[in-house]
């Protein structure tokens, strides 16, 4: 019987409960923020604690996925995350002579395999999904991105049947994912913010806010005699 679970602090991907229920096939959809690369290291206590927390969470997440793959086999697990298809740079270690031991390995983006522009994929991976508050553009973009990324991967399951194409509402943004416009990219750029997204997209909204604040201050002001 299919089971749908969400992760949390203890089990980021929510797979442990599925393993305990002896599920056989797994589709893991990871929309969590990935730990980014820091080119400048700060040593103040707050920065160090935040980075340590990020490293720890990334390590726990990785170990959970490796445990799933080891116990159930890669053929029974489909893992989808928002960094799929993006380019990578493998940085070589520095030897005792203070020079790189080998050349850095550059992996070029291949998002076009699922009809998504690399810049769009990068911006989608930075959207804050933990607040559960999305605009229609953000929601449709995330849904279509996952739909197109997973289409080929899900076929690997035993007895998987190709279903007829359905007319999904989120398909309305397909052209933007493939060939984004400046306006569309701006909305995705703003989507990574926690608060004030509407003000960043529509700066003119500041006018009524400032007007209301001015009126409130005017009528609440008590002059000092």
Helix axes 136-153, 182-190, angle to 10 degrees: 90
- Secondary structure of residue 63 in the 3-state scheme: helix
Q: Are residues 124 and 221 located together in one domain of the fold?
A: yes
Q: How confident is the model at residue 180 (pLDDT cuts 50, 70, 90)?
A: very high
The two tokens of residue 3 are 């089971």
- Per-residue b/e over 3-27, b at no fewer than 16 CB within 10 Å? eeeebeeebbbbbbebeeeebebbe
- Secondary structure of residue 107 in the 3-state scheme: strand
Quick check: pTM over 0.75?
Answer: no
Q: Are residues 190 and 125 located together in one domain of the fold?
A: yes
Q: Are residues 65 and 127 located together in one domain of the fold?
A: no
Integer Cα distance of 219 and 116 in angstroms: 53
Among 25, 56, 81, give the residue marking a domain's end: 81
Q: Mind giving me the DSSP string for 191-216?
A: TT-SS-HHHHH-GGGHHHHHHHHHHH
Given the structure tokens 């998002």, which residue do they identify?
111
Q: Are residues 141 and 189 located together in one domain of the fold?
A: yes
Q: Are residues 129 and 173 located together in one domain of the fold?
A: yes
pLDDT for 160 equals 62
Q: How confident is the model at residue 176 (pLDDT cuts 50, 70, 90)?
A: very high
Q: Which domain holds residue 218?
A: 117-225
Find out whether 48 and 90 touch, Cβ atoms under 8 Å.
no
The string of pLDDT tens digits covering residues 83-133 is: 888 877 777 778 778 877 777 777 788 888 889 999 999 899 888 765 567
Given the structure tokens 């056989």, which residue do they identify?
24
The string of pLDDT tens digits covering residues 34-69 is: 676 777 778 899 988 988 888 888 888 888 888 888
Q: Are residues 126 and 214 located together in one domain of the fold?
A: yes
pLDDT for 10 equals 66
Task: Quote the number of domains for the chain.
Answer: 2
- Per-residue b/e over 43-79, b at no fewer than 16 CB within 10 Å? eeeeeeeeeeeeeeeeeebeebbeebbeebeeebbbb
Integer Cα distance of 15 and 100 in angstroms: 39
């Amino acid at each position: 019987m299919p089971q749908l679970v969400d992760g949390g602090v203890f089990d980021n991907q929510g797979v442990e409960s599925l393993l305990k229920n002896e599920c056989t096939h797994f589709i893991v959809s990871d929309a969590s923020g990935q730990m980014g690369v820091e080119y400048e290291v700060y040593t103040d206590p707050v920065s160090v604690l935040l980075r340590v927390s990020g490293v720890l969470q990334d390590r726990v997440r990785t170990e959970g996925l490796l445990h799933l793959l080891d116990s159930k086999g890669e053929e029974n697990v489909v893992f989808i995350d928002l960094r799929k298809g993006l380019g990578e740079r493998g940085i070589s270690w520095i030897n005792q002579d203070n020079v790189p031991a080998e050349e850095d390995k550059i992996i070029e983006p291949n998002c076009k395999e699922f009809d998504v522009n690399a810049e769009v994929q990068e911006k989608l991976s930075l959207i804050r999904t933990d607040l559960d508050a999305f605009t229609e553009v953000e929601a449709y973009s995330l849904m279509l991105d996952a739909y197109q990324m997973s289409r080929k991967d899900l076929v690997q399951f035993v007895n998987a049947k190709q279903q007829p194409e359905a007319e999904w509402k989120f398909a309305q943004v397909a052209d933007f994912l493939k060939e984004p416009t400046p306006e569309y990219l701006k909305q995705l750029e703003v989507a990574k913010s926690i608060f004030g997204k509407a003000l960043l997209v529509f700066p003119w909204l500041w006018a009524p806010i400032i007007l209301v604040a001015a009126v409130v201050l005017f009528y609440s002001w008590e002059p000092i005699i």
